[in-house]
Structure 1
């Protein structure tokens, strides 16, 4: 069986520096990533390519990032994040990318990959909410019994944000308010799923109902290391094994089964206080 190797980058955030994001380092770091990525079968960009300013400047920032991605000789695949979509439409992002950034399925090597592009609108007052049709689109993407890598910008599991600079006190901005409904769609899907995302600016693994959810640190985030993290990942699927290896100042590695069939977890117990015979654990 052929080994598939995919280079992954998240949250490039080309633009201004902030106390935690080193946007001025984005293009040199992305250039280094692109140079290495041609050794792989494909590249996945998890979105938030820029830090938004205004529509005119955002187009300039996006084009500078896209010029780096266009140097790739291997196929590239994109989703768009909340900063990409803050002031530019999905259609304009696709025009600038010269590539799709909406719901679709692709095959890289022998790996089926579903790219989900739900609503990523965000404001300081309003967290993430799905738009009409987003859940149905997710269900349609997963209507296949082959193992599937599910790619989105926003993480789909309600992972603890304790210690996260951005989201410990803003958990509604770290995932969708409809995360329970998303969980139900994933549990009902006929295919085993591994989900990857960016957005939360740190490396995590959470397993819910047998589905691993992985997040990748931002290329330019500094709240953990004190400098731009330089993080990117290599995802390798070799037979029945998935390996996820993060390079940079915050290395992280996970080895998981690449399951060929769906496993069903038992539904969680009701609250112990509601059980007539008390807790059993």
Structure 2
């Protein structure tokens, strides 16, 4: 079986510099990514969202248009989801119009790989945290249930509920790193007819977490500095050859992982109850 090669980028954060993001370097780094990807034989490019750092509606439209013009230079087909910064001032439909590409929840095949792009509510404020809107979970269940083939599940926000210990943004704010309905989301993934590998951005670091037999991968931001001290310049290459999944992160924080591309559904046994509570009973 021919291998499928997908280039992945996320959390571009084009815009102002902050103490931990080099937003002013986003476009040059994105142009460099486009140059490296073009002509390299990729089946597709996936953008994990948060293309800008939101400021105000007028400024955000200019920033999104800048990023969209860079993405339009890609030779390979591109696929987008939108992040919380992308919808702070605009609707999902606004993002789709600027990108000239869909951002909503959908299923499609890239090369030999079935992909589900899940676009739940990603609105986020300091007070609100992340919460699904009505219909979001049902849409995920529906998309996963359509096919029992191994599936790459793509979202902006990670779905594993993995620990944020040491994360500059989220150690003290874990409710901003994943959804309040995380247990129901993971149950939907566990109950899907086929095996799943999940891919996300948002948390600005490279991680691998396996929950209930499902590997969850996150990609570092293109412009984040809190780990290496300078813009990470991160982008990922996902290669699936029918037997293995190889995940390579390029940039200042490189990573190389090889995992089995799952052929069959795997589900862990339910965790034991609290020992203290069981002893008391």
- Structure 1 residue 129: Cα displacement: 0.1
- Matches of 2:192 and 2:280, distance apart in 1: 34
**TM-score normalised to structure 1 length:** 0.97
After superposition, what is the alpha-carbon deviation per residue over 1:68-123, rounded to whole angstroms, capped at 9, x for unaligned?
A: 00001110000000000000000000000000000001111000000000000100
Q: What residue number does 2:174 align with? A: 171
Give how far 1:276 is off. Answer: 5.3
Distance apart, 1:136 and its partner CA: 0.3
**Residue 68 of structure 2 is aligned to residue 69 of structure 1:** no
Give the structure 1 partner of residue 12 of structure 2: 12
How far 1:277 moved relative to its partner?
10
Structure 2 residue corresponding to 1:267, chosen from 260, 266, 270:
270
1:76 match: secondary structure: strand
CA deviation digits over 1:40-82, x for unaligned, max 9? 1110000000000111111100000010000011100000000
- 1:210 — aligned with what? 213
1:1-281 paired onto structure 2 within 5 Å: 1-38=1-38, 39=40, 40-143=42-145, 144-275=147-278
CA-atom RMSD, angstroms?
1.1
Alignment length, in residue pairs? Answer: 278
Instruction: Please identify runs of 4+ aligned residues in structure 1 that moved more than 6 A.
Output: none
1:215-272 deviation line (CA, Å, top 9, x unaligned): 0000000011111000100000012100110000001121111111101211111111
Q: Which structure 2 segments of 5+ residues have no match?
A: none
Structure 1: stretches of 5+ with no match in the other structure: none
Distance 2:13 2:244 in 1: 32
Distance 1:223 1:13 in 2: 14
Q: Deviations over 1:177-236 (max 9, x none)?
A: 000000110111011000000000000010000000110000000011111000100000
CA distance in 2, matches of 1:24, 1:276: 57
Corresponding residue SS for 2:114: strand
Deviation of residue 128 (structure 1)? 0.1
Post-superposition shift, 1:274?
3.2
> Helix, strand or coil: the match of 2:85?
helix
